[in-house]
Structure 1
Amino acid sequence: MYLREARLSDMQTVGRIGARAFIDDPLFNAVEPGRYTYYEDYEAGWVRRVREKALKPEARIVLAVDEETKEITGFAVWVREGDDPAAYRWRNEAGILKRIEFKLLTIEGRITTLFSPKSRSEDPAALARLDEATEQATTGTWSQEGRKIRWHLHILGVDPSWRRRGVGRLLVSWGMKNGAKEGVICSLESSPTGRALYEKLGFKAIDVWAPFEGFKEEFENITAPMMVWQPGAAKGNGVAKAKTENGIAIEDGSVNGARKSNDME
């Protein structure tokens, strides 16, 4: 198994993996209640979201790839938050082309929203509430002293057929190695099934995220621990030894922990 950065041409596959990986996640009971009936709409929404993430200069979508078959087995969306020099380097590294593509995609998305049928799988009110809760977490827990500058794991998706084979651990280790190199924390909101993995890797719960509190009573029990990993915990926590597409082992603290792709198409 090796890691590489995603290309835009990977987004269809990445979106499909995300759709399969999260089909039974409690969060999607709220935001995508029609996902089983209108699976194509649900999957298309995933493809759209990961494309939007891929073009943000502060984001990196890292893929785990099987060495023999070249099959993409999972993905992680890592975002470098903060206003420190390292954060600026990551954003600038993305290049002007990526920023232009993001602008064009934003315009395309607005046109699509105006003229395309709405997704039949989504609950717009629940999605709006989720966006609001995400912003509250950013300006609340994640804005506190020592937490603004960080690598944040937005999404970790492993193809169901590849679960329990170390794919998730490998993808999480990419952000942890960069956090160790830069001396910054890693953060995330964990799904119920992911918490055990994160705890094994040294993440600690610091708060609880309740995105639908006060929204609908039936969804108020959907919560997620907000977790932090400190760079000093890098040794002895079982971080996976990954390698890049060219077979070079990723050392702790490597900021090039996945082979970069200049081909965003």
Structure 2
Amino acid sequence: MSLTAIGKATPKPPPAHEAITIRRATLKDGPGIGRTAGITYYNTPLTCFLSPHREKHHAAYERGFVERAIARMLSPRNETYVACLPSGRIVGAAQFQRQGDDAGARRLVREVGVVNRIWMWVLGWLFWIYCKVYWMVRGPDRSSDQEAAKTFSGWCRVDRERYWDSVEERADRWHALSIVVLPEWQGMGIGRKLMAEVMKRAESDGVMVGLESSVAGEAFYRRLGFVLLGRFSPDAHALEGGGGEMAWYPPGYKNKIGEESGMGDHL
């Protein structure tokens, strides 16, 4: 469960020259993506639960987001996009993962190339070792609550099995792992442009897009055409005060939107 962070912000109008560019991210964007996520998620109910000491140990809190952003990018099934100002500053980012083993998923992996896949595998292991050594030397992440993290992982397993793993026709999909836009830049269409990247890919592949949405983000995704599959498991739902698992279906998708939507309303 990785809640998307498109919320209710009251942004300041940006200068006219501050045009936003959406582009595919590179590994060097990892720290900027992580910092953007850390700022965007900072005061969400889930972050307050998982990282109650983030103010006192901010560097550790931020590093966790940077590590997750980079680790995701080292998968051949990952697509990461950033929204940048002309200065290069990242004000939004989205990370998507291709699930399943259909023709589109196999084509994506094949197009990465054998050499690049080997390099990604090697770099992934080296990065994992580096992170382990870093935390061994620096000590544990004092910004977070480890028991809360275990509890949250349990909630994720329940919802993943209920809404995704146990439903065969949802195996092949693009899944949004993280969509973040800095609070002062929300409400300007950046989230919509980031989501358009994965929706175009999903339409080309003929598969759905899945994600977990916070209560604040749910209205945004409904405007994009997403439907609610079901609410989070009770404890997670109580923590967030709403939100749930959502899906978008491209035109001509084999399952009818109405059928899925009706089923979700009763879950």
Same-fold status (TM-score > 0.5): yes
Q: Which structure 1 residue ranges, 4+ long, deviate > 4 Å from structure 2?
A: none
Larger helix proportion, structure 1 or 2? 2
Corresponding letter in the other structure for 2:193: L
* Deviation of the 1:230 alpha carbon: 0.6
Q: Which residue of 2 aligns with 1:154?
A: 177
Partner of 2:27: 8
Counterpart in the other structure of 1:258: none
Q: 1:41–1:136: structure 2 CA closer, same or farther, 3 Å change rule?
A: same
Q: Distance in 2 between matches of 1:79 and 1:93?
A: 15
1:226 CA drift (Å)? 0.5
Corresponding residue SS for 1:99: helix
- Kept after mapping to 1: 8 A contact 2:158/2:233: no
Question: Considering only aligned residues, what root-mean-square deviation do their CA atoms show, in Å?
Answer: 2.0
Cα contact 1:129–1:211 (8 A) shared by 2: no
The alignment's TM-score, normalised by the length of structure 2, stands at 0.79
Distance 2:130 2:188 in 1: 38
Equivalent runs, 1:118-197 vs 2, <5 Å: 118-143=140-165, 144-197=167-220
1:201 aligns with: 224
Q: 1:59 to 1:212 in 2, by over 3 A?
A: farther
- In structure 2, runs of 5+ residues without a counterpart are 1-19, 254-267
Q: Which string of whole-angstrom CA distances, capped at 9 and with x for unpartnered residues, describes residues 183-241 of structure 1?
A: 1000101012211110000000011123845xxxxx8433531001011289xxxxxxx
Q: Tell me whether 1:37 sits opposite 2:48 in the alignment.
A: no
Matches within 5 A, 1:1-265: 1-66=20-85, 68-94=86-112, 95=116, 96-143=118-165, 144-210=167-233, 212=235, 220-222=238-240, 223-232=242-251
Is the partner of 1:231 in helix, strand or coil?
coil
Instruction: In structure 2, give the amino acid aligned to 1:169.
Output: R
Q: Which moved more, 1:1-10 or 1:143-152?
A: 1-10
Give the letter aligned to residue 184 of structure 1: V
1:7 deviation in Å?
A: 1.4
